[in-house]
Chain A
Amino acid sequence: MNRIVAKRVVTTFHSFKVVRRGLSNDAVIGANSPSTNDQVNTAYKEKLDLTNDPYDIAVVGGGMVGMAFACALSSMPLTKQLNVAIIDSNPALGKQDNIKKDDLPDPRVSTVTPAAISFFKDIGAWQYVLQHRHAYFDKMQVWDYTGLGYTRYTASDVETDILGCVVENKVLQSSLLSCLQKNTEFQKTVYPSRLTSMTVGLPTQPNSATSGIAKLDLSDGNSLFAKLVVGADGGKSRVRELAGIKTTGWNYSQNAVICTVKHAVENHCAWQRFLPAGPIALLPIGDNFSNIVWTMSPKEASDCKAMSEDDFLKAVNHALDYGYGPHPQSNSDGYSGDHSWEVPPNVIELASERMVFPLSLKHAKDYVANRVVLIGDAAHTVHPLAGQGVNLGFGDASALSKIIADGVAVGADLGELSLLKKYEAERKPANLMMAAILDGFQKAYSVDFGPVNILRAAAFQVAHYVSPLRRNIISYATGRQKWPLLF
């Protein structure tokens, strides 16, 4: 059934409290039906009059991270009774799951780490991912264009079955939505709109740093009140801006070209090669498809987008094989075939449009302010290499939901800074570390100079041949370990 309405989408009201809003779970509301619009408006007016009955939490941004956070709240006994608003004009939020298995894979994909997979399992969303296209991979090969170094590892190096899973973003998004809709006990209201302004704290309460509630104004003219505002509104976060939180970082003078490609055989390995202009990654996405994330200068990116399909495929195959430099030597000493260098499978067909994204590194100076907390890209954007971006966000969503549960257990005011600071203390150092590592990698490859190349290659060789180090790096990259290099 279609739950989109003109003003708002109302999902479920199996509430333990009095149903405050006028629409029930089973109401089927057509977007164009005037009678139901009236109904909605009445419900909305009632809500406005109840300005002293605020939401516990308003999640601004129903992207993958905001939705994962809402799901996490709906899945825990202590938090599932919270009254939550989700604000996002993204139409995907009101949609039925209409992804077809035989659609070609979308070029926007995420590499989900084992840590994020167990989070999805905990909140009950992974089962929906499994109903769609997804590609587990158990091998990873990273090498560089100088031919001096490579590293290749398998899941068994760290005694697991998989190193990660590549999933289309739209699948993650719709799985989280299905999961949220299944938890009918959870009181949530979706506002299909955008945040325009925000006021925190009420002036009537002197000398109280934690006083008041936040008032949110939306682009459709609606307003709502919440005790806590969760900014999950992406890299250009409006919440962050309105809360006056500054960021540090820079735009890489780089773009990423992404697309779906087809092979003659199925790919089970995640491949990444560092080229002079930036890395190219070839990620399995199921059937005979792979996803390409190729970092390069803006000029090269627009060339790549403009060139003919054949030329582009040639360029990709070139970049993943002999282009820019020789194959690394496969040292077979001590390692079985599983660890020797291989050529990635040939790309035979372009299966989607080519999309270009600018890259940036941005880190919020604070993750929290009075009654405001940032998660996901709103708090940090990192270089897409190693596919950590959204995984850091899932880590944020998981940590924040647990801290909120701890707060509920002791009757805390959820917008209280001291509670939110615990989240910041848990996430900020870890995310900064990952951002610095990815940025360092990026920087190391932006220099093409003999001695630097050899150093880089040496680092690869060390990483490849020193087993504990190698295990450590994999554990860190797969999210099983919070800190790198702690043996």
Chain B
Amino acid sequence: MASLKLARFLLNSNRKFPNQFSCFTKTSCNLQRRLFSDVTQQSSINLSSSPPTSPPPFHDSTTTSGGAGFGRRTPISSSLNESELLKFSSIAETWWDSQGPFKPLHVMNPTRLAFIRSTLCRHFRKDPCSARPFEGLKIVDVGCGGGILSEPLARMGATVTGVDAVEKNITIARLHAESDPVTSAIEYCCTTAEKLVEEQRKFDAVISLEVIEHVANPAEFCKSLGSLTVPNGATLISTINRSMRSYAAAIVGAEYILRWLPKGTHQWSSFLTPEELVLILNRASISVQEMAGFVYNPLTGRWALSDDIGVNFIAFGTKNSQ
């Protein structure tokens, strides 16, 4: 039964991450440099976008496809990494092809949603046996792509806003959500987290999965996510670890990269380690409460939640109340 599985997640949640976080000090010098690239400019994260960054094509929905029109300057820092966005724009048509380039996200979806379900139900004291436990929660899905995550969140009862910097993604997401009244209620916008902050939008939960490795400035991006979260609200981020194993698995690993992901989707050096993520979230007033790894079983072709955060991982944090 599903409830049994959920119970297992709840049990597993008492993980040993606090100990792992204590190893920060060793690398903190390094981290400072990497994490705050806006200060040091010479950053290993910010690979391709040229600072100072430019505004996204927020409401300029007619002409934009991905990276187009980033030339204007504004005072707000931008998370946009133009070359990454171009890659997504070029494969936007394939979002809902479960065997296409986004297959890993489709396959991973039930697993990461199980984590989201258990953490949010616990945090917001929602009934985990309910079919729509997120009823009454406002959730934003930052970097929603074609809506692979937004749709299930809506089905679970949440009031969902999905945003993505690539106009084509938003078009696909809207089209796909149309067939069902529940998902057609999702508010999709081509915009960025920074822009939502500017508009002073607030959400009970801010979720951004597999996005942070593609943004220009992870630290600033996390700050935006923090600002979008109501006090005592929740923030969830998932990404790929910068470990030797992830390098092997995600970049070199033939199956992952050749069969699933188009070449160049990820640049290993722009990945964050769990420690780095915890640190930059901390600076964004988000304290990470729980972390889990996703491990892929090539035999079953499925993902499972585990303690192993060596490759893919997800973090659940809460916004400090102040």
Residue B138 at the A interface, CB < 8 A? no
Residue A213 at the B interface, CB < 8 A? yes
Q: Are B93 and A79 in contact (CB under 8 A)?
A: no
Q: Are B152 and A411 in contact (CB under 8 A)?
A: yes
Q: For the complex, what is the distance from the CA of A53 to the CA of B184, rounded to whole Å? A: 11
Q: Are A409 and B2 in contact (CB under 8 A)?
A: yes
Residue A237 at the B interface, CB < 8 A? no
In whole Å, how far is A444's beta carbon from the nearest beta carbon of chain B?
A: 35
Q: For the complex, what is the distance from the CA of A408 to the CA of B131, rounded to whole Å? A: 6
Q: Are A209 and B181 in contact (CB under 8 A)?
A: no
**Given A78-B2, A411-B156: A207 and B96 within 8 A (CB)?**
yes
Q: For the complex, what is the distance from the CA of A76 to the CA of B131, rounded to whole Å? A: 10
Q: Are A52 and B152 in contact (CB under 8 A)?
A: no
In whole Å, how far is B157's beta carbon from the nearest beta carbon of chain A?
A: 9
Q: Contact check: which of B2, B107, B179, B181 meets A211 at CB < 8 Å?
A: B179
Pick out which of these stretches binds chain B: A277-285, A412-420, A450-458, A476-484: A412-420
Contact code string A78-106 (vs B, CB < 8 Å = 1, else 0): 11011000000000000000000000000
Q: Are A79 and B131 in contact (CB under 8 A)?
A: yes
Q: Contact check: which of B153, B175, B181 meets A205 at CB < 8 Å?
A: B175
Q: For the complex, what is the distance from the CA of A213 to the CA of B178, rounded to whole Å? A: 11
**Given A405-B1, A409-B114: A418 and B98 within 8 A (CB)?**
yes
Complex: chain B residue closest to A16, CB-CB? B132
Q: For the complex, what is the distance from the CA of A413 to the CA of B179, rounded to whole Å? A: 11
Dominant secondary structure at the A interface: loop
Residue B26 at the A interface, CB < 8 A? no
Residue B180 at the A interface, CB < 8 A? yes
In whole Å, how far is A279's beta carbon from the nearest beta carbon of chain B?
A: 38
Contact code string B73-105 (vs A, CB < 8 Å = 1, else 0): 000000000000000000001111111000000
Provide the residues of chain A in CB contact with B6, threshold 8 Å. 409
Complex: chain B residue closest to A54, CB-CB? B180
Complex: chain B residue closest to A81, CB-CB? B131
Residue A428 at the B interface, CB < 8 A? no
Contact code string A185-206 (vs B, CB < 8 Å = 1, else 0): 0000000000000000010111
Q: Are A213 and B99 in contact (CB under 8 A)?
A: no
Tally of A interface residues using CB under 8 Å: 35
Residue A7 at the B interface, CB < 8 A? no
Q: Which residues of chain A (172-191) have a CB below 8 Å from chain B?
A: none
Q: Are A405 and B2 in contact (CB under 8 A)?
A: yes
Q: Are B1 and A410 in contact (CB under 8 A)?
A: no
Q: Are B107 and A418 in contact (CB under 8 A)?
A: yes
**Given A409-B117, A410-B110, A413-B151: A78 and B180 within 8 A (CB)?**
no
Provide the residues of chain A in CB contact with B95, threshold 8 Å. 208
Q: Contact check: which of A78, A407, A417, A419 meets B129 at CB < 8 Å?
A: A78
Q: For the complex, what is the distance from the CA of A227 to the CA of B180, rounded to whole Å? A: 9
Residue A221 at the B interface, CB < 8 A? no
Q: Which residues of chain A (389-443) have a CB below 8 Å from chain B?
A: 402, 405-413, 416-419
In whole Å, how far is A418's beta carbon from the nearest beta carbon of chain B?
A: 6
Residue A328 at the B interface, CB < 8 A? no
**Given A77-B130, A82-B131, A418-B106: A410 and B98 within 8 A (CB)?**
no
In whole Å, how far is A46's beta carbon from the nearest beta carbon of chain B?
A: 15
Q: For the complex, what is the distance from the CA of A353 to the CA of B264, rounded to whole Å? A: 73
Q: Are A209 and B98 in contact (CB under 8 A)?
A: yes
Provide the residues of chain A in CB contact with B179, threshold 8 Å. 52, 202, 205, 211-213
**Given A213-B180, A227-B180: A208 and B117 within 8 A (CB)?**
no
Residue B266 at the A interface, CB < 8 A? no
Q: For the complex, what is the distance from the CA of A206 to the CA of B94, rounded to whole Å? A: 9
Max chain B Cβ within 10 angstroms of own Cβ: one of A409, A412, A419: A409
Provide the residues of chain B in CB contact with A227, threshold 8 Å. 180
Complex: chain B residue closest to A422, CB-CB? B302
Q: For the complex, what is the distance from the CA of A78 to the CA of B94, rounded to whole Å? A: 31
Q: For the complex, what is the distance from the CA of A447 to the CA of B1, rounded to whole Å? A: 45
Q: For the complex, what is the distance from the CA of A334 to the CA of B5, rounded to whole Å? A: 46
Residue A210 at the B interface, CB < 8 A? yes
Max chain A Cβ within 10 angstroms of own Cβ: one of B95, B96, B110, B132: B110
Q: Which residues of chain B (171-219) have a CB below 8 Å from chain A?
A: 175-176, 178-181, 184
Residue B155 at the A interface, CB < 8 A? yes
Residue B25 at the A interface, CB < 8 A? no
Q: Contact check: which of A202, A204, A212, A411 meets B113 at CB < 8 Å?
A: A411
Complex: chain A residue closest to B5, CB-CB? A406
Provide the residues of chain B in CB contact with A204, threshold 8 Å. 175, 178
Complex: chain A residue closest to B133, CB-CB? A409
Q: Are A209 and B180 in contact (CB under 8 A)?
A: no
Q: Are A410 and B131 in contact (CB under 8 A)?
A: no
Q: For the complex, what is the distance from the CA of A417 to the CA of B98, rounded to whole Å? A: 9
Residue B154 at the A interface, CB < 8 A? yes
Residue B109 at the A interface, CB < 8 A? yes
Max chain B Cβ within 10 angstroms of own Cβ: one of A202, A416, A418: A418
Provide the residues of chain A in CB contact with B151, threshold 8 Å. 411, 413
Max chain B Cβ within 10 angstroms of own Cβ: one of A206, A207, A412: A207
Q: For the complex, what is the distance from the CA of A36 to the CA of B139, rounded to whole Å? A: 45
Provide the residues of chain A in CB contact with B30, threshold 8 Å. none
**Given A209-B96, A209-B98, A418-B98: A412 and B110 within 8 A (CB)?**
yes
Provide the residues of chain A in CB contact with B155, threshold 8 Å. 411-413
Provide the residues of chain A in CB contact with B156, threshold 8 Å. 410-411
Max chain A Cβ within 10 angstroms of own Cβ: one of B95, B99, B154, B180: B180
Q: Are B109 and A410 in contact (CB under 8 A)?
A: yes
Provide the residues of chain B in CB contact with A78, threshold 8 Å. 2-3, 129-131
Q: For the complex, what is the distance from the CA of A204 to the CA of B175, rounded to whole Å? A: 9
Q: Which residues of chain A (261-275) have a CB below 8 Å from chain B?
A: none
Provide the residues of chain A in CB contact with B131, threshold 8 Å. 77-79, 81-82, 408
Provide the residues of chain B in CB contact with A416, threshold 8 Å. 98
Max chain B Cβ within 10 angstroms of own Cβ: one of A208, A209, A213: A208
Complex: chain B residue closest to A403, CB-CB? B2
Q: For the complex, what is the distance from the CA of A412 to the CA of B112, rounded to whole Å? A: 12
In whole Å, how far is B172's beta carbon from the nearest beta carbon of chain A?
A: 8
Q: Are B99 and A209 in contact (CB under 8 A)?
A: yes
In whole Å, how far is B53's beta carbon from the nearest beta carbon of chain A?
A: 32
Provide the residues of chain B in CB contact with A202, threshold 8 Å. 179
Q: Are B109 and A211 in contact (CB under 8 A)?
A: no
Provide the residues of chain B in CB contact with A81, threshold 8 Å. 131-132
Q: Are A410 and B114 in contact (CB under 8 A)?
A: yes
Q: For the complex, what is the distance from the CA of A236 to the CA of B80, rounded to whole Å? A: 57
Q: For the complex, what is the distance from the CA of A80 to the CA of B94, rounded to whole Å? A: 34
Q: For the complex, what is the distance from the CA of A210 to the CA of B99, rounded to whole Å? A: 11
Complex: chain B residue closest to A419, CB-CB? B110
Complex: chain A residue closest to B6, CB-CB? A409
Q: For the complex, what is the distance from the CA of A416 to the CA of B179, rounded to whole Å? A: 14
In whole Å, how far is B30's beta carbon from the nearest beta carbon of chain A?
A: 37
**Given A52-B181, A411-B154: A206 and B93 within 8 A (CB)?**
yes
Additional A-B contact list (6), CB under 8 Å, known A76-B2, A410-B109, A411-B154: A77-B131, A208-B97, A227-B180, A408-B2, A408-B131, A412-B155
Jot down 9 A-B pairs with beta carbons below 8 A, ordered by A.
A79-B131, A202-B179, A205-B175, A208-B176, A209-B96, A409-B6, A411-B113, A411-B151, A411-B156
Q: Which 3 A-B pairs have the closest CB atoms?
A: A411-B152, A208-B96, A410-B113
